[in-house]
Amino acid sequence: MQRLILTAVALATSAAFAPLPAAAQDVAGEKVNQLIIYGNDACPPSTDEQITVCARKDEGERFRIPAPLRDNPNASVNQGWTDRVKAYETVGAAGVASCSPVGASGASGCMAKLINAAYAEKKQSSDVQFGKLIDEARQKRLQSVDKDAAEEQARVEVLEKEYDAKLARERAGTAAPAVPTPPQ
């Protein structure tokens, strides 16, 4: 029931933010391919146009229903003793910020309660977090970009020096054919 309410809230809030672009698409227009691979399957390599991020799961999970959908999180078997005690603490709570249909402004605390529960559930989730994997892939790509840019800059500087030397020789009247050789 709690997941159903959270899903409804998430759908309602996502409709308000529908025109906004996804965060992964904001960064330099790069495309991100998110895959879940199982066992020893190979992860496809990233290309210049696309970052491929793979999350590896056990081979036994390949044809199973995803873990968040398997169990009923509201079943009493899945609730810890502390959660049961906390439920007793709220018995009889009514009034402002109580999330109760009884009393003035009782419903004002419901949204805060749902948001706090959603963040707590997200923090405890063992599901794949693609945001972290995408950030790691971006950092790895940026490291190689910096190295490639430094090498390219060195080649350009050598060519510029050779071109300046050629111009100086031509102006002095001692033009000799020089073939630029960029460093390897």
Of 50, 49, 16, 6, nearest in space to 32 by CA: 50
pLDDT digit of tens for each residue in the chain (184 aa)?
455 454 544 444 444 444 444 444 445 577 999 999 999 999 999 888 899 999 999 998 889 888 777 777 777 777 788 877 777 766 666 666 677 666 666 666 777 778 888 888 877 776 777 788 888 888 888 887 778 888 889 999 999 999 999 999 888 886 555 555 666 6
Residue 174 burial class via C-beta count within 10 angstroms: exposed 0-12, middle 13-18, buried 19 and up:
exposed
Angstrom distance (rounded) from CA 132 to CA 126: 13
- What pLDDT is recorded for position 54? 92
- Alpha helices, DSSP H only, in the chain? 2-16, 23-26, 67-70, 81-89, 108-124, 130-172
Taking the C-alpha atoms of residue 108 and residue 146, their distance in angstroms, rounded to an integer, is 51
- Angle subtended at Cα 71 by Cα 66 and Cα 72, rounded to the nearest 5 degrees: 135
pLDDT of the residue at 72: 78
Q: Where are the domains of the chain?
A: 77-126
